[in-house]
């Protein structure tokens, strides 16, 4: 069997060995409950709070603004639901290409009485900012704007400052799903006009099952999960101690190596674009891959043929891991993101997403296999 080539890093990433090393003591000997008052508990509590300080420093936030959760889905659910329940928002503005963690939450709240508007998507896959301002200016009610920083399927990015300033202009609450960008781009939250952002450790070589919710210090909400007094009474449940330690370590490593890793990964993406265009005529790319785009993601359309329709199956047989879109929508139904932006309903879409562990040799192998499949 050939060695596996993993090009689905937007779905999840390999755990960095240094992150595992940082987690190991809390998986073995340092197992105290952070809520316990004896020494084992105090050691665990210190680990959680040190992790919080690390994350806050990297994101330029206050530690009191950082809450640990089970991941991006819980974080987005909390922010969006609290905006309606606690902050007086009666109108939600979002887009059709958001992650389902946002879309399904919005759809649920719509059933309970919230008004929902969808901002137009330009042919490039970018948000129509003029339309966003029109929706905000016409909204006679307190509004929540929830738009993702970088799309997980096509990679397109919004400008957080431009969007946030527009929300401030119209006194709207701004939540951004930043799951694909925390750990991949520098953040300066103290100087960014945003009320909520989210992060997930497994998107940047940390562990699964742990994330963050940033809540701006000027925003006051009630708990989404009720029970004990963990996370300063905001998120009940015994803390995922080793996950939290791993999240902070992964974020620290990603930040320390940002320039080197991001340039390397961007180089892999551009190299794959060049090789695809050279060797496979008729392919197109979704979104704005060489513009305002996530450097880890490349969404490719292949002309529909009997062979290309089997491309994901054949790549799996050849030990190549890729996605047909988002990992959260890889069933029978097609991608809602591609449906919203594609002018070619017959194209076969494959998402390639890269990490620091990928190589040009791997891309050469994938291109060679693709030529045989198509």
Picking from 356, 348, 351, the residue whose alpha carbon sits closest to that of residue 366 is 351
Residue 221 sits at the vertex; the CA angle it makes with 220 and 227, to the nearest 5 degrees, is 130
DSSP β-ladder status, 320-321 and 297-302: unpaired
Residue 63 sits at the vertex; the CA angle it makes with 62 and 64, to the nearest 5 degrees, is 90
Out of 3.40.640.10, 3.40.1390.20, 3.40.50.970, 3.40.50.12780, which CATH number does the structure's domain 17-256 have? 3.40.640.10
Q: Which two tokens stand for residue 91?
A: 């109108």
Three-class DSSP category at 91: strand
Three-class DSSP category at 358: coil
Residue 197 bridge partners (DSSP): 176, 214
From 89, 167, 321, 328, active-site residue: 328
Q: Which two tokens stand for residue 87?
A: 């902050």
97 vs 340: CA distance, rounded Å: 7
CB atoms within 10 A of CB 166: 19
- Starting at the edge strand found earlier in the chain, the sheet holding 196-200 runs 66-69, 211-215, 196-200, 173-176, 143-146, 91-94, 115-118
Out of 3.10.640.10, 3.90.870.10, 3.30.1330.10, 3.90.1150.10, which CATH number does the structure's domain 5-14+258-373 have? 3.90.1150.10
Residue 69 bridge partners (DSSP): 211
In the chain, domain spans: 5-14+258-373, 17-256
* Integer CA distances (angstroms), 45 to 67, 78, 294, 366, in order: 14, 24, 35, 46
Picking from 195, 191, 100, 196, the residue whose alpha carbon sits closest to that of residue 151 is 100
* Integer CA distances (angstroms), 48 to 41, 149, 244, in order: 11, 27, 7
Picking from 349, 96, 326, 68, the residue whose alpha carbon sits closest to that of residue 212 is 68
Q: In this structure, what are the phi and psi dihedrals at residue 264, rounded to the nearest 5 degrees?
A: -65, -45
Q: In this structure, what are the phi and psi dihedrals at residue 120, rounded to the nearest 5 degrees?
A: -65, 150
User: Is residue 89 among the annotated active site residues?
Assistant: no
Give pTM, 2 decimals. 0.95
The pLDDT tens digits of the residues spanning 26-76 come to 999 999 999 999 999 999 999 999 999 999 999 999 999 999 999 999 999
pLDDT in tens, the chain (374 residues): 568 999 999 999 999 999 999 999 999 999 999 999 999 999 999 999 999 999 999 999 999 999 999 999 999 999 999 999 999 999 999 999 999 999 999 999 999 999 999 999 999 999 999 999 999 999 999 999 999 999 999 999 999 999 999 999 999 999 999 999 999 999 999 999 999 999 999 999 999 999 999 999 999 999 999 999 999 999 999 999 999 999 999 999 999 999 999 999 999 999 999 999 999 989 999 999 999 999 999 999 998 888 778 899 999 999 999 998 655 544 446 789 998 887 676 789 999 999 999 999 999 999 999 998 88
DSSP H or E stretch at residue 373: helix 360-373
């Amino acid at each position: 069997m050939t060695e596996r080539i993993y090009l689905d890093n937007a779905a999840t990433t390999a755990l960095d060995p240094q992150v595992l090393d940082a987690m190991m003591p809390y998986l073995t000997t340092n197992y105290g409950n952070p809520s316990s008052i004896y020494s084992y508990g105090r050691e665990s509590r210190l680990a959680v709070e040190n992790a919080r300080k690390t994350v806050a420093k990297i994101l330029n936030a206050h530690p009191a603004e950082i809450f640990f959760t089970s991941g991006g889905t819980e974080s987005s659910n909390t922010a969006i639901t609290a905006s309606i329940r606690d902050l007086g928002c009666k109108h939600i503005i979002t887009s059709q290409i958001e992650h389902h963690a946002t879309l399904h939450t919005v759809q649920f709240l719509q059933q309970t009485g919230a008004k929902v508007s969808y901002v137009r998507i330009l042919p490039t896959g970018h948000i129509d900012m003029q339309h966003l301002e029109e929706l905000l200016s016409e909204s006679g009610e307190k509004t929540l704007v929830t738009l993702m920083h970088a799309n997980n399927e096509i990679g397109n990015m919004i400008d957080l400052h431009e969007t946030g300033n527009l929300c401030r202009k119209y006194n709207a609450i701004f939540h951004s799903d930043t799951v694909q960008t925390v750990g991949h781009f520098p953040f300066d939250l103290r100087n960014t006009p945003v009320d909520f952002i989210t992060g997930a450790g497994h998107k940047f070589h940390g562990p699964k099952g742990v994330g963050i919710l940033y809540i701006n210090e000027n925003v006051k909400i009630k708990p989404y999960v009720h029970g004990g007094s963990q996370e300063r009474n905001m998120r009940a449940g015994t803390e995922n101690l080793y996950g939290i330690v791993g999240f902070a370590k992964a974020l620290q490593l990603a930040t320390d190596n940002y320039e080197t890793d991001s340039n390397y990964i961007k180089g892999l993406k551009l190299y794959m674009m060049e090789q695809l265009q050279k060797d496979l005529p008729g392919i197109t790319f979704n979104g704005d891959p060489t513009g305002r785009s996530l450097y880890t993601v490349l969404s490719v359309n292949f002309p529909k043929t009997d062979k290309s329709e089997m491309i994901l199956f054949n790549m799996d047989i050849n030990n190549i891991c890729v996605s047909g879109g988002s990992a959260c929508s890889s069933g029978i139904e097609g991608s809602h993101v591609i449906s919203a932006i594609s002018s070619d309903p017959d194209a076969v879409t494959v998402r390639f997403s890269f990490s620091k562990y990928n190589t040009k040799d791997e891309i050469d192998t994938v291109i060679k296999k693709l030529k045989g499949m198509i």
